Amino acid sequence: MKTRITEMFGIEHPIIQGGMHYVGFAELAAAVSNAGGLGIITALTQKSPEDLAKEIARCREMTDKPIGVNLTFLPVVEAPDYPGYINSIIEGGVKVVETAGNNPAKWLPLLKENNIKVIHKCTTVRHALKAEGIGCDAVSVDGFECGGHPGEDDIPNMILLPRAAEELNIPFVSSGGMADARSLVASLAMGADGMNMGTRFIATKDAPVHENVKQAILAATELDTRLVMRPLRNTERVLTNKAVEKILEKEKELGAHIKFEDIIKEVSGVYPRVMLDGEMDAGAWSCGMVAGLIHDIPTVQELMDRIMNESKQLIEDRLKGILN
């Protein structure tokens, strides 16, 4: 399959692995890239720029295909060492950066000078247009179904993707609710140039997370995610568990008076405990509604091969068959 995204990033299939905290390690990124997609290392999972440099080098030992790095710009008082992380990306020869969170405009000139393509995650068409306007090369359009932060507008992909196609000139990929060939073909039909998968890649043999996490996704249905931190306008879609139910109780009880400090135990620093140690009730962790479409734990290669083979069948047999 050739799309503007495969050509821009030099990949075989129009499938990107989204940046995920304590999931986007070298093992998963390399597996996705080796299978023909674009694997992405999550920069802020690494505690320092030096650690990121080592992780990029480790990934390079596992694949000679293109890889990317996710860099999330957080709205915090004490910001991470962003210049250091960007320097590690440049020195590591990485040519694709997925930005998320705050506006990346400040960092674009440095990335561009080093011939790095930037794909920015957006949850609205207006944010996507802003990303295009400041010089991002592509955008990842994140529908309301997505795990993690879906924004505050609640627009699902059946509306968001065609709207993005109406407005954008730069290439974009669909994100949120993406799991299989149906996701890819539907995304292409709605104007996207590929798709970004997060939760689906966690439930693979290559994902370096605890088996409990994979089994939790496998056992979940599309009804098992919850939206937390909505009163704080920092909405996050997470898989329900005891900690999540506790957050929702506090939100109901405190209403508009709730502060981040009230839920800090349930949301701060929980990812290593969940993803690495398998403590499934340690806190809130991002998961998409797409869990309802995940029924097995294949290798990344098996998953990618299946998606591409079934996409071909869908286009050539089902869709052409309907026309005939």
Q: How far apart are CA 9 and CA 68, in angstroms?
A: 9
Contacts of 32 (CB under 8 A, 6+ apart): 15, 17, 38, 39, 40, 201, 300, 304
CB burial of residue 19 (10 Å; 0-12, 13-18, 19+): buried
Q: Quick one: tokens of 244?
A: 């999540």
Give tens-digit pLDDT for 70-104: 999 987 778 999 999 999 999 999 999 999 999 99
Give tens-digit pLDDT for 112-123: 999 999 999 999
Compute the chain's Rg from CA coordinates: 19
With the C-alpha atoms ordered 311, 315, 321, 323, is the resulting torsion angle positive or negative?
positive
Per-block average pLDDT, block size 10, for the chain (324 residues)? Answer: 98 97 98 98 98 98 98 87 98 98 96 98 98 98 97 97 98 98 98 98 98 98 97 96 98 95 95 98 98 98 98 96 90
Residue 16, pLDDT score? 98
- The answer to whether the CB of 54 falls within 8 A of the CB of 85 is no
Residue 75, pLDDT score? 77
| pTM flag (> 0.95) | yes
The number of C-alpha atoms within 13 Å of 184 and in the hemisphere containing its C-beta is: 28
Residue 177 region, left (φ>0) first, then alpha (ψ -120 to 50), else beta?
left
Q: How far apart are CA 12 and CA 188, in angstroms?
A: 16
Q: For the chain, what are the domain ranges?
A: 4-199, 221-286
With the C-alpha atoms ordered 260, 43, 284, 140, is the resulting torsion angle positive or negative?
positive
Residue 94, pLDDT score? 98
Let me know if domain 4-199 sits in CATH 3.40.50.360: no
